[in-house]
Amino acid sequence: MTLLEAILLTIITASTPLLIAAIGELVVERAGVLNLGVEGMMIMGAAAGIAAAITTGNSGLGVLAAVLAGMALAAVFAFLTLGLATNQVAAGLALSIFGLGLSGVVGAPFVGVQRAGIGKIEIPFLSEIPFLGPVLFAQDPFVYASFALVVGVSWFLWRSRAGLVLRACGENHASAHALGYPVLRIRLYAVLFGGACAGLAGAYLSLAYTPFWTSGMTGGRGWIALAIVVFASWLPWRAAIGAYLFGGITILQLHAQGAGVPLPSQLLSALPYLITILVLVLIMRLRRGGAAAPAALGTPFVPDR
Amino acid sequence: MRLVLERRAETPLALRIGSPLLAVALTLLSAIVIFAALGHDPWRALHIYFVMPLSDSWGLQEVAVKATPLVLIAVGLALCYRSNNWNIGAEGQFLVGALAGSWLALATHGAPDGPWLLPAMLACGALGGALFALIPALLKTRFGANEILTSLMLVYVAELLMDWLVRGPWRDPHGFNMPQTVIFEPEATIPLLMEGGRLNIGTPLMLLVVALMAVLAARTLKGFEIRLVGEAPRAARFAGFSETRLTWTVFALSGALAGLAGILEAAGTVRQLQPAISPGYGFTAIIVAFLGRLNPVGCLVAGVFLAITFIGGENAQILLRLPLDVTRVFQGLLLFYVLACDTLLLYRVRLVRGAAA
């Protein structure tokens, strides 16, 4: 395997959790809900995933537990913001704080427990293509799932009727309601889907990326996923570009630290965060004039009969 | 069965005061369930968590020491949130304030002269925090970049900056390679209120800030402007208030208060710089601001309550071996309940039989 192939492989593994979480949040925001709790749902997924995997000895059950944990937290958020029409920003922050705390309690007994990570699956025939094969078709199942999510969500949002209705709820909930669509129920499904994706992204971190648990192991990835959604102008394939851009930066700065670049390692570690800020500014400049955000994003909806 | 919200014409005063109290009661109730689930006697745990910190003078002092930064940061954040500016990077502004003020303490180390040093350090801390908070404000007003994300990203940047300084250029050469600076000179530390305690003049300073902010919010044109921009942005625009200028003002003010809290913590409570200078004050202050209903005096009461959970969490870690993260769980739950109870102020909540609309 060449060095370039090796670097590309690590970039893909670093980008996958960002991509999975960002796609989930993208659907949530397309439905008009801003869930800032991605970090909390992701780390809960990581903690529940490894806890279930170690207790049952089955990685598949770990993944299932992670997805369910993400959805459970999302359900709490949905009850507050949809059922009780609370401020979505504040409820999302609460979800992040709560998730970080609860994951620490759930994960405490599993600190330092090593286990074999989820292995890679080589797709026969395709993985033998020179260069592209080993990079794209000899990955762990999460990577394939992330590809499938991008394609599936793109198709759902722009090629299916349900996707059109979901986007309508995000653009103008009063009109969607007047047309007879159950705005709150559609938003609930979207929020739960976002929670499932964040949980899955968390499972990837604790079951495949670094197959052990450390408190706070998401390290701001949930927040970067939120930034990727903005960067992507709420389009799934652009979210994939954004996730790979951030994954690439993370890996390159790690390589730079390893190669002994004469810069403080802290400056290199700060690069992904600084570049997130820079990208947010640049994208707003490029988009001057045309607003891309769903029009009803972040506004609570209370149906009047 | 489904929930139906009906908008209230007006909110009774009893409900305004009662809703945060209901949130606290629900949190205590949840605490009992969580303690029992973790296999502890809930009454003993509750006592250790919420009563013991208040039962001796040492505990009371610690509560005041911890409440000081929380309240200082929260009153600033309350102004931001009232005007729909979502500054969630107070933790970073706190750290940069601590860095900026400590820079002066370290620059004069070994040759401190004059009583000007401490006031200058406090001013430097506030200035550092304000400038750091103005970055997201500038990016928001000039480029339209989302201030929630930029202010949060800057927290990670501030943490790494702090880490670099105390491990690199500012490290104590005689500190056995520990990541920390020298202990500040007596001239560069905040004077204690009384002998033998940890309470310093930061606490009365905080009370003064609360009083000033209460007057600002309730009695001045600026306070009215902040409320108007938050509640009726269109009306505010017609009245000629500039949203851009207001964003700058509230970010600078909240950053300055977070920075002041940072240097008070560094030069008062800790007396040196180290990476673990904040147990997440900047994030907990967000909860303080909401529990205090975005009102300065409310923030004071809420800050004391959350300070108790910090001390209680430390006690429970020692006496019951409960992980410190349990405190975070309570804090997150508290914010959930506060938000849920605030819905009662705006709406009548009813359960209705039948299918969803």
Distance CA A157, CA B67 (A): 48
Answer yes or no: are the C-beta atoms of A109 and A115 closer than 8 Å: no
3-state class (DSSP) for residue A122: strand
Rounded to the nearest angstrom, the minimum Cα separation between B201 and chain A is 31
Rounded to the nearest angstrom, the minimum Cα separation between A84 and chain B is 6
Residue B334 neighbours by CB under 8 Å, 6+ apart:
B23, B24, B27, B287, B291, B306
Distance CA B317, CA B353 (A): 45
3-state class (DSSP) for residue A300: coil
- The tokens of A140 are what? 């762990």
Tens digit of each residue's pLDDT, chain A (305 residues): 677 888 888 899 899 999 999 999 999 999 999 999 999 999 999 999 999 999 998 889 999 999 999 999 999 999 999 999 999 999 999 999 999 999 999 998 888 887 777 777 777 777 777 777 777 777 788 999 999 999 999 999 999 999 999 999 999 999 999 999 999 999 999 999 999 999 999 999 999 888 889 888 888 899 999 999 988 889 999 999 999 999 999 888 888 888 878 888 889 889 989 998 998 898 888 876 455 788 889 888 888 75
pLDDT tens sequence across B242-279 = 889 999 999 999 999 999 999 999 999 888 898 888 88
Q: Is residue B43 pLDDT above 70, yes or no?
A: yes
Mutate to test the interface with A, among B139, B170, B339, B341 (most CBs of A within 10 A): B339
A111 φ, ψ (degrees, to nearest 5)? -65, 130
Burial (CB < 10 A; 0-12, 13-18, 19+), residue B349, is: middle
Q: Which residue has the tokens 């049952």?
A: A56
Rounded to the nearest angstrom, the minimum Cα separation between A10 and chain B is 23
Distance CA B82, CA B224 (A): 10
Question: How sure is the predictor about B349, in pLDDT bands with cuts at 50, 70 and 90?
Answer: confident
Nearest residue, CB atoms, A87 vs list B149, B331, B339 = B339
pLDDT tens sequence across B88-131 = 999 999 999 999 999 999 998 887 677 889 999 999 999 999 99
Nearest residue, CB atoms, B335 vs list A97, A184, A223 = A97
Mean pLDDT, rounded, of chain B: 90
CA neighbor of A86 nearest in space, from A30, A33, A26, A31: A33
Residues of chain B with Cβ-Cβ distance to A97 below 8 Å are: 283, 287, 328, 331-332, 335
Question: How sure is the predictor about B357, in pLDDT bands with cuts at 50, 70 and 90?
Answer: very low
Distance CA B90, CA B284 (A): 10
What ipTM goes with this model? Answer: 0.90
With vertex at residue B33, the alpha carbon angle to CA B30 and CA B37, rounded to the nearest 5 degrees, is 140
Distance CA B338, CA B291 (A): 6
Answer yes or no: are the C-beta atoms of B44 and B261 closer than 8 Å: no
3-state class (DSSP) for residue B272: coil
B351 φ, ψ (degrees, to nearest 5)? -95, 125
Q: Is residue B299 pLDDT above 50, yes or no?
A: yes
Residues in chain A: 305
Q: What pLDDT is stored for residue A115 in this prediction?
A: 79
Q: What pLDDT is stored for residue B128 in this prediction?
A: 97
- The tokens of B20 are what? 């945060």
Q: Is residue B132 pLDDT above 90, yes or no?
A: yes
Residues of chain A with Cβ-Cβ distance to B153 below 8 Å are: 220, 223, 227, 273-274, 276-277
Q: What pLDDT is stored for residue B1 in this prediction?
A: 66
Rounded average pLDDT over B143-172: 92
SS3 content of chain A, % helix, strand, coil (to 5): 75, 0, 25
CA neighbor of A200 nearest in space, from A273, A272, A149: A149
Distance CA A216, CA B315 (A): 22
Q: What pLDDT is stored for residue A305 in this prediction?
A: 56
Mutate to test the interface with B, among A25, A89, A98 (most CBs of B within 10 A): A98
Burial (CB < 10 A; 0-12, 13-18, 19+), residue B196, is: exposed
Q: What pLDDT is stored for residue A26 in this prediction?
A: 97
Query: Using H for helix, E for strand and C for coil, what is the string for B300-338?
Result: HHHHHHHHHHHHHHHHHHHHHCCCCHHHHHHHHHHHHHH
Answer yes or no: are the C-beta atoms of B101 and B266 closer than 8 Å: yes
- CB burial string B17-56: b at 16+ within 10 A, e below: eebbebbbebbeebbeebbeeeebeeeebbebbbebbeee
- What is the Cα Rg of chain B in Å? 22
Nearest residue, CB atoms, A80 vs list B148, B287, B336 = B336
pLDDT tens sequence across B17-35 = 888 899 999 999 999 999 9
Q: What pLDDT is stored for residue A51 in this prediction?
A: 94
Distance CA B306, CA B287 (A): 8
| Residue B213 CB neighbour total at 10 angstroms | 24
Distance CA B226, CA B205 (A): 24
Residues of chain B with Cβ-Cβ distance to A215 below 8 Å are: 325
Give all domains of chain A, ordered by start, each with its CATH number.
Answer: 3-110+139-286 (1.10.3470)
Helix (H) or strand (E) holding A152: helix A141-159
CA neighbor of B67 nearest in space, from B303, B254, B266, B263: B303
CA neighbor of B259 nearest in space, from B277, B244, B246, B247: B277
B201 φ, ψ (degrees, to nearest 5)? -70, 0
| Cα atoms in the Cβ-side hemisphere of radius 13 Å centred on B260 | 23
Answer yes or no: are the C-beta atoms of B285 and B90 closer than 8 Å: yes
Enumerate the H helices of B179-295 as residue ranges: 202-219, 221-231, 233-238, 243-264, 281-291
Q: What pLDDT is stored for residue B155 in this prediction?
A: 95
The neighbouring-strand residues paired with B7 are: B347
